[in-house]
Amino acid sequence: MAQNAFQPLQGMSDLTDPELGVWRRIEGKAREVFARYGFDEIRAPILERADLFERSLGETTDVVTKEMYSFTDRGDRRVTLRPEGTAGVVRYVAGRGPEAQDARLYYIGPMFRAEKPQAGRKRQFHQIGVEAIGPPDPYADAECIALQMRLLAEWGLSDCALQVNTRGLPEDQRAVSQVLRERLGPRQAQLCEDCTRRLDMNIYRVLDCKQERCREIVAELPPLTEFMCEPSRAHFAQVRAALEQIGLPVNVTPKLVRGFDYYVHTVWEITHGALGAQDALSGGGRYTLRFGQKQIEGVGFAIGVERVVAALQTKAAQAESCAQAPELWLVSLGKEAIRQNFALLEQVRANGLRCGMLFGGRGMKAQMRAANKSGATRVVIRGPDEIEKDLFILKDMQGGGQRTLSRQQLENELDVN
Ligand code: AMP
């Protein structure tokens, strides 16, 4: 069998313990913080109709044109593995009655983008995100940014950098596009191949290009807010004032637009210095999306879990995951010991303890090695002698000592019955 038959697809990973211990801690803390801010969970499907993303993210965005895993399902419907979480949540909200008009929802789960895999860029990655549905209000935007910064700080990442900008209203975006066309058109020859196409298709995407030469040209443009109407500028000023009021002053990043077309008003990105080239931990913004007769407005963010884990790769974070080590391990010599330990295993687990035992009829040495590797603090050893007398050897893996106990003594010791 080819070697790669044992590997997951490129850009995808088998996630296992002990690293998953860090993931559980991240997710657990997120749920706790979301409850504090009044968000409920949604688990939307991972597979959706392709046109949901095409319409919501924008037909000419990189994700839609190059990165979606789309295929035709059993009928002739085109479906897509979700590349992001907002479209599905907004679809759900649009399908509900007035009770969902101020919905506050969070999600945790996998996303799929067929990007070129590289460090920090996966094809299956995981996001933790929120959507706060409701009409534009600078306080809602500021609250969403504050929630995200709080979450990152409680995970142990208070050393993040926040970049904020505004995209203004859709009418501002038309005015800004016009200015961009005038300024960038004459420089077409200097832009990358993708951006020459973007000039006609979706000029905003030039602002988001990662190529060095395009970034230099973009840096020379004036701040986009100069071409926006007064209400848009006022909205943004109020967001900044609200953030300042709660101790989160922001440096405006005047060319930040983010990768999807649904954004209006405030957009932001959070980076972390430890991450290298792919340094974005998280991004968010205010959006407006039309579903049939309904226009859904809201503000939200998505945090990349892999990148949070990478930024957290510290000893302390790793150590916490060891809290999942078994409290007891059972070692058996001979068939009858296996039979009886199997019942003890279930009894101990039923009493709420983490307990392990190696199957496969392996020898004493292999079983002790497994006990050691598991990190169990105590081991029960039983051979034919102990079985005959209904005794149990209890070995302390940290101190090294051992005692022989009766069944009653063992049950008292472990607090099981
Ligand atoms: P986006 O949905 O593009 O705004 O991304 C939000 C966050 O998800 C980013 O800041 C990253 O932390 C993470 N992310 C996006 N794409 C990937 C990817 N291909 N691999 C790993 N993480 C990603």
pLDDT digits (tens, 9 = 90+) for 111-165: 999 999 888 899 999 999 999 999 999 999 999 999 999 999 999 998 899 999 9
Residue 278 has a pLDDT of 83
Any ligand 1 atom below 6 A from CB of 302: yes
What is the CA(380)–ligand 1 centre distance, in A?
47
**What's the gap in Å between 352 CA and the centre of ligand 1?**
38
pLDDT at residue number 315: 37
Task: Give the per-residue pLDDT at 101.
Answer: 85
Q: Is 281 in the pocket of ligand 1 (CB under 6 A)?
A: yes
Query: How far apart, in whole angstroms, are the C-alpha atoms of residue 174 and residue 204?
Result: 10
Domain boundaries, the chain: 9-169+228-318, 326-414
Query: Is the minimum distance from the CB of 304 to ligand 1 under 6 angstroms?
Result: yes
Top mutation candidate among 53, 125, 128, 271 for ligand 1, by most atoms within 8 Å of CB: 125
Phi, psi of 120 (to 5 degrees): 85, 0
| CATH 3.40.50.800 is held by the domain 326-414 | yes
Whole-number pLDDT of residue 395: 96
Cα gap 54→330, rounded to integer Å: 55
Is the distance from CB of 393 to CB of 368 less than 8 angstroms? no
Decide: 236 in ligand 1 pocket, CB within 6 A. no
Span from the CA of 253 to the centroid of ligand 1 (angstroms): 19
Considering only CA atoms, which of 340, 301, 325, 358 is closest in space to residue 162? 301
The gap from C-alpha 181 to its chain's centroid, in whole angstroms, comes to: 36
Q: Which atom of ligand 1 is found nearest the CA of 258? A: 4
- CA-to-CA separations, 39 to 24, 35, 45, 80, 131, in angstroms, rounded: 19, 6, 19, 27, 9
Q: Scanning the structure block, which residue is given the tokens 């298709």? A: 201
Of ligand 1's atoms, which has the minimum distance to the CA of residue 123?
19
What superfamily in CATH does domain 9-169+228-318 come from? Bira Bifunctional Protein; Domain 2 (3.30.930.10)
**CA of residue 187 to ligand 1 center, whole Å:** 30
Residue nearest atom 8 in ligand 1 by C-alpha distance: 304
Tell me, in angstroms, the distance from the centre of ligand 1 to residue 304's CA. Answer: 5
The response to whether residue 62 sits with its C-beta less than 6 Å from ligand 1 reads no
Taking only the tens place, the pLDDT of each residue in 229-246 is: 999 999 999 999 999 999
Q: By the 8 A CB rule, do 95 and 262 touch?
A: no
CB 242 within 8 A of CB 142: yes
Q: Whose CA is nearest to atom 1 of ligand 1?
A: 283
Protein residue closest via CA to atom 15 of ligand 1: 304
Q: Residue 210: its pLDDT value, please?
A: 84
Backbone angles phi, psi at 412, to 5 degrees: -65, -45
pLDDT of res. 323: 53
Please tell me if the CB atom of residue 88 comes closer than 6 angstroms to any atom of ligand 1: no
Query: By the 8 A CB rule, do 400 and 372 touch?
Result: no
**Three-state SS string across the chain, please?**
CCHHHHCCCCCCCCCCCCHHHHHHHHHHHHHHHHHHCCCEECCCCCEEEHHHHHHHHCCCCHHHHHHCEEEECCCCCEEEECCCCHHHHHHHHHCCCHHHCCCEEEEEEEEECCCCCECCECCEEEEEEEEEECCCCHHHHHHHHHHHHHHHHHHCCCCEEEEEEECCCHHHHHHHHHHHHHHHHHHHHHCCHHHHHHHHHCCHHHHCCCCHHHHHHHHCCCCHHHHCCHHHHHHHHHHHHHHHHCCCCCEECCCCCCCCCCEEEEEEEEEEHHHCCCCEEEEEEEEEEEECCEEEEEEEEEEEHHHHHHHCCCHHHHHHHHHHCCCEEEEECCHHHHHHHHHHHHHHHHCCCCEEECCCCCCHHHHHHHHHHHCCCEEEEECHHHHHHCEEEEEECCCCCEEEEEHHHHHHHHCCC
Kindly give the confidence (pLDDT) of every residue in the chain, 417 residues in length, as a single tens digit, with 9 standing for 90 and above. Answer: 566 889 999 999 999 988 899 999 999 999 999 999 999 999 999 999 999 999 999 998 889 999 999 999 988 899 999 999 999 999 999 999 888 889 999 999 999 999 998 888 999 999 999 999 999 999 999 999 999 999 999 999 988 999 999 999 989 988 999 999 999 999 999 999 989 988 888 888 899 888 899 999 999 999 989 999 999 999 999 999 999 999 998 889 999 989 888 999 999 999 998 888 888 999 999 999 998 889 999 999 999 999 999 998 853 544 454 457 899 999 999 999 999 999 999 999 989 999 999 999 899 999 999 999 889 999 999 999 999 999 999 999 988 899 999 999 999 999 987
Alpha-carbon distance of 303 to 224, in angstroms, equals 26
Please tell me the distance between residue 407's alpha carbon and the centre of ligand 1 in angstroms: 54
Dist. CA 370 → ligand 1 center (Å): 38
115 lines ligand 1 (CB under 6 A): yes
Ligand 1 mean position, distance from CA 282 (Å): 7
What pLDDT does residue 266 have? Answer: 97
For residue 356 and ligand 1, the question of a CB distance below 6 A is answered with no
Q: 393 pairs with which residues across the strands?
A: 381, 404
Say if ligand 1 is within 6 A of residue 306 CB.
yes
CA distances from 115 to 6, 10, 261, 397 (A): 22, 10, 19, 47
pLDDT at residue 316, as a whole number: 54
**CB of residue 262 inside a 6 A radius of ligand 1:** no
- Answer yes or no: same fold for 9-169+228-318 and 326-414: no
pLDDT given at position 143: 94
Q: How many residues does the chain have?
A: 417
* Ligand 1 pocket member 121 (CB < 6 A): yes
